[in-house]
């Protein structure tokens, strides 16, 4: 019997959804064809038309027409396959029919969210306002739908950073201060919406860059100390060392030293890098006394910040005169009522208001001898009391009282220590000081010699 009826698939197009990550041999679809003949002419044999894109991936049962997957499918690799199947009868001559099979690979949550980098490092300036953007990360999930919907969070959540979902932008919840904390390290967590959810982590480092927000601080010498310098000191000899520090870093902490006042004779010079003060020229008699140098310490930041300090240099032959300096400092730092009490009891010298305000000038001749005892009236008569009687002359001090007075004024030179003002007042006077101000003692020694019996030197 001849076969006269062609094979007919119903339908001619088979579309099927098939989940990825299948097991080998899992059924994909059944294809069915019909033949109107009978007997062996109606017996059909199914086969897959060879195609390079599907070779080895699918197979078909030649009798039943069941299509099976030969290996696991991966939607992320390919999500749609199309191939043809045939049905041939056993008649002679043989007839055959064809149909098309389309396999759409369904997604499974088989991929973790993936950050584009294995680690992130960002640099930000300190003093940025809160909620400023400090960096951005990118995360991908190769799955589809809810399996690819990723939520980001900071882990652990210390309250200092937040991250925007959707953009991956990291925001700061704080304003950075590099001097308190120069770097921050935390992790970001990415979780997808699959069932069960999958997650991944990445490390993040935030480095805080320095901003020039700190003034230099002078640590040595203090404003109330002084350095004794011999009149015989040779030029280029070291006089003092100014030390300072800056909490910033880099160029913002590189310091430059300069003398901006108190050096009218240009006796002293300072190294701009080390802060070492040296004697610039030979000393003469007019240079004797107290020199008060105004030293400025600036950093290399943009804009630069600076601090000002006072350096006292006392040019004198002997260390004994350091007692005069201490006496002067104690006096001017004592309240007015206390100074009056001291003068009444001890007749010791204290500077006048004019001297305290403007100071001495090196080499300048004083118009009035502050140390000489006051003279009586020119007519030789003392003042009379209310009843016309001459006032009584002060009773001379006894020998024991004079010794007691000298002991009360004598200073322990071996234990002499410079007094430092409180931290809040340390540079108060310096900030208001004119750049050209100089406070020095007189060049001559005659007045100082007259002071020695009073001070017990």
DSSP per residue, 143-160: S-GGGG-EEEEEES--SS
Residue 2 lies in a domain: no
Residue 40 belongs to some domain of the structure? yes
Say yes or no: 145 and 96 in one domain.
no
User: For residue 320, what are the contacts with CB-CB under 8 A and spacing of at least 6?
Assistant: 413, 457
At residue 55, the pLDDT reads 78
Residues 416, 434, single domain; the answer is yes
Q: What is the pTM of this model?
A: 0.56
pLDDT of residue 223: 85
Both 270 and 225 in one domain: the answer is yes
CA distance 67 to 365: 120
* pLDDT average, residue stretch 95-114: 92
| Chain segment 418-456, per-residue pLDDT in tens | 333 333 344 433 433 434 334 344 344 444 444 444 444
Answer with the residue of higher pLDDT: 251 or 350.
Answer: 251
DSSP 8-state code for residue 129: P
The pLDDT of 178-188, averaged and rounded, is 93
The reply to whether 450 falls in a domain is: yes
User: What contacts 439, CB < 8 A, 6 or more positions away?
Assistant: 262, 290, 291, 292, 359, 360
Mean pLDDT across the stretch 164-190? 94
The residue among 48, 81, 106 that closes a domain is 106
Based on the fold, state whether residues 198 and 343 are members of the same structural domain.
no
pLDDT score recorded for residue 7: 64
Which of 64-78, 141-155, 331-345 shows the lowest mean pLDDT across its residues? 331-345
The token duo for 108 is 């499974």
Considering only residues 295 and 431, tell me which one the structure prediction assigns the higher pLDDT. 295
**Whole-number Å distance between alpha carbons of 16 and 67:** 11
Interval 319-334 mean pLDDT: 53
Q: Rounded CA gap, 347 and 335, in Å?
A: 17
Same domain flag for 332 and 442:
yes
pLDDT band at 224 (very low <50, low <70, confident <90, very high): confident
- Is the pLDDT reported for residue 416 higher than 80? no
Residues 299, 446, single domain; the answer is yes
pLDDT given for residue 330 in this prediction: 60
The pLDDT-based confidence of 231 (bands split at 50, 70, 90) is very high
Grade residue 382 by pLDDT with cuts at 50, 70 and 90.
Answer: very low
Residue 350 CB-half CA count within 13 A: 20
Is there a domain that residue 336 lies in? yes
In a domain, 315, yes or no: yes
What is the span of the domain harbouring residue 237?
A: 214-368+399-457
Question: Quick one: which of 342, 316, 341, 340 has its CA closest to 327?
Answer: 342
Q: Which of 210, 162, 156 is nearest to 183 (CA)?
A: 210
Please tell me whether residues 179 and 244 are part of one structural domain.
no
Residue 97 sits in the same domain as residue 127: no
Residues 69 and 166 in one domain: no
Q: What is the mean pLDDT of residues 315-321?
A: 68
Bin 187: left if φ > 0, else alpha if -120 < ψ < 50, else beta: beta
SS3 26: coil
- The pLDDT confidence band at residue 275, using thresholds 50, 70 and 90, is very high
**In this structure, is the dihedral angle defined by the CA atoms of residues 29, 35, 38 and 41, taken in order, positive or negative?**
negative
Among 162, 187, 209, which residue terminates a domain?
Answer: 209
Please check the confidence at residue 151 and state whether its pLDDT lies above 60. yes
For residue 358, is pLDDT > 50? no
DSSP letter for each residue of 291-340: EEEEEEEEE--SS--EEEEEEEEEE-S-GGGHHHHHHHHHHHTS-HHHHH
DSSP per-residue string spanning 353-395: HHHHHH---TTPPPSS-SSSPPP--TTS-PPB-TTSPBPPPPP
Q: Is the pLDDT assigned to residue 374 strictly greater than 50? A: no
Residue 383 has pLDDT above 80, yes or no: no
pLDDT band, very low/low/confident/very high, at 323 (cuts 50, 70, 90): low
| Last residue of one domain, picked from the residues 209, 237, 267 | 209
Q: How far apart are CA 184 and CA 420, in angstroms?
A: 39
Contacting residues for 301 by C-beta, under 8 A, at least 6 apart = 212, 248, 251, 252
- pLDDT score at 344: 32
Question: Using CA atoms, how far apart are residues 457 and 319, in angstroms rounded to an integer?
Answer: 11
Domain count along the chain: 3
Identify whether residues 335 and 405 lie together within a single domain.
yes
Give percent of the chain with pLDDT exceeding 70. Answer: 68
Q: Looking at residue 445, what DSSP letter applies?
A: S
**Range ranked top by mean pLDDT from 45-49, 137-141, 363-367:** 137-141
**For 165-174, 237-246, 336-345, 376-385, which range has the lowest pLDDT when averaged over its residues?**
336-345
Q: Is the peptide bond before 163 cis (omega within 30 degrees of 0)?
A: no
Give 31-88 pLDDT, tens digit per residue. 988 877 777 777 888 999 888 888 789 999 999 999 999 999 999 899 999 999 999 8
Whether residue 381 is contained in a domain is answered as: no
CATH of the domain at 15: 2.60.40.60
Q: What is the mean pLDDT of the chain?
A: 76
Asked whether residue 74 falls in the same domain as residue 102, the answer is yes
In a domain, 169, yes or no: yes
Round to whole Å and give the CA distance between 154 and 184: 12
């Amino acid at each position: 019997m001849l076969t006269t009826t062609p094979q007919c698939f119903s339908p001619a197009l088979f579309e099927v959804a098939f989940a990825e990550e299948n097991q080998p041999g899992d059924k994909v679809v059944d294809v069915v064809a019909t033949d109107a003949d009978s007997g062996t002419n109606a017996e059909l044999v199914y086969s897959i038309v060879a195609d390079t894109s599907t070779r080895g991936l699918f197979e078909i049962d030649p009798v039943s027409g069941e299509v099976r997957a030969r290996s696991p499918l991966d939607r992320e690799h390919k999500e749609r396959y199309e191939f043809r199947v045939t049905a041939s009868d056993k008649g002679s001559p043989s007839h055959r029919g064809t149909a098309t099979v389309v396999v759409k690979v369904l997604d499974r949550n088989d991929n973790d969210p993936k950050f584009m980098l294995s680690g992130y490092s960002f640099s930000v300036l300190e003093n940025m306002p809160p909620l400023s953007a400090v960096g951005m990360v990118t995360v991908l999930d190769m799955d589809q739908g809810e399996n690819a919907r990723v939520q980001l969070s900071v882990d652990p959540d210390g309250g200092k950073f937040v991250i925007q979902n959707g953009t991956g932008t990291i925001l700061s919840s704080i304003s950075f201060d590099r001097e308190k904390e120069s770097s921050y390290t935390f992790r970001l967590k990415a979780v997808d919406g699959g069932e069960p959810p999958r997650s991944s982590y990445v490390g993040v480092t935030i480095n805080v860059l320095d901003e020039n927000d700190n003034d230099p601080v002078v640590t040595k010498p203090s404003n109330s100390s002084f350095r004794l310098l011999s009149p015989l000191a040779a030029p280029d000899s070291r006089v003092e060392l100014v030390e300072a520090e800056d909490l910033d870093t880099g160029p913002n902490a590189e310091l430059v030293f300069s003398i901006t006042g108190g050096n009218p004779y240009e006796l002293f010079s300072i190294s701009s890098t080390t802060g070492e003060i040296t004697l610039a020229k030979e000393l003469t008699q007019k240079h004797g006394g107290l020199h008060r140098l105004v030293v400025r310490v600036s950093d290399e930041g943009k804009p630069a910040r600076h601090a000002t300090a006072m350096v006292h240099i006392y040019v004198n032959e002997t260390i004994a005169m350091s007692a005069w300096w201490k006496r002067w400092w104690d006096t001017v730092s004592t309240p007015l009522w206390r100074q009056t009490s001291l003068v009444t009891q001890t007749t010791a010298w204290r500077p006048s208001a004019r001297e305290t305000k403007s100071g001495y000038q090196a080499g300048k001749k004083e118009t009035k001898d502050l140390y000489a005892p006051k003279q009586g009236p020119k007519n030789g008569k003392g003042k009379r009391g209310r009843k016309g009687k001459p006032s009584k002359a002060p009773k001379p001090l006894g020998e024991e009282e004079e010794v007691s007075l000298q002991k009360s004024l004598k200073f322990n030179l071996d234990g002499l220590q410079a007094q430092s003002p409180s931290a809040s007042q340390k540079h108060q006077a310096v900030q208001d000081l004119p750049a050209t101000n100089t406070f020095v003692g007189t060049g001559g020694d005659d007045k100082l010699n007259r002071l020695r019996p009073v001070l017990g030197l």
